[in-house]
Amino acid sequence: MQYAKYYLMSNANAFGKLVAQKRQELNLSQRELAQRVGKSATYINYVERGYNPSAKGGEFKPGVEAVDSIAKTLKLNANEARIAAGYAPITAASEVDEETAGIFRDIDNLPPERKRIIKKQIRAIVDTMLEDEDFDFNYVED
């Protein structure tokens, strides 16, 4: 897990630091990220700083839906983002290896029509594999 160090930190704002680093790696401004996730630039600033001057005690913790949306937009591992933000991971059963997760992230970034087509093709392949014990895996090269 490339961002594991963030949720091992004792710092209460591990998620904010993770978001700020990834946003900067992608050369996005807070305003650009905010537009992509449907939030304000002020909201993203609060996330990154872990601070909201209007909140009791000043601490700012984004909701799990916002964490998931920001993670998806920045192409972060959803479970790592949730853990860094102080939430439980989605489920151990939904975890996949990094290569598979990368493929699904790429599919998720396709235009809707292409996404629909690829999902339909994947479903057909998986269904065939589940139904046919003699399915020939050799036609696909590694």
- Overall CATH class of domain 4-92: mainly alpha
DSSP label of 128: H
pLDDT tens for each residue of 52-98: 888 777 888 898 899 999 999 999 998 889 888 888 777 654 556 77
Measure the CA–CA gap between 39 and 42, rounded to whole angstroms. Answer: 8
d(CA 31, CA 41): 5
Q: Reduced to 3 DSSP states, what percent helix, strand and coil does the chain have, rounded to the nearest 5? A: 65, 0, 35
Question: What does each C-alpha distance from 125 to 67, 106, 122, 136 come to in angstroms?
Answer: 32, 18, 5, 11
Tell if the pTM clears 0.75, that is, is over it.
no
Residue 41 has pLDDT above 90, yes or no: yes
Please report how the helices 98-108 and 112-131 are oriented relative to each other, as an axis angle in degrees rounded to 10.
Answer: 140
Q: Is the model's pLDDT at 17 over the cut of 50?
A: yes
Please state, rounded to an integer, the average pLDDT across all residues of the chain: 80
The domain locations on the chain are 4-92, 94-139
CB proximity list for 77: less than 8 A, separation 6 or greater: 1, 3, 71, 101
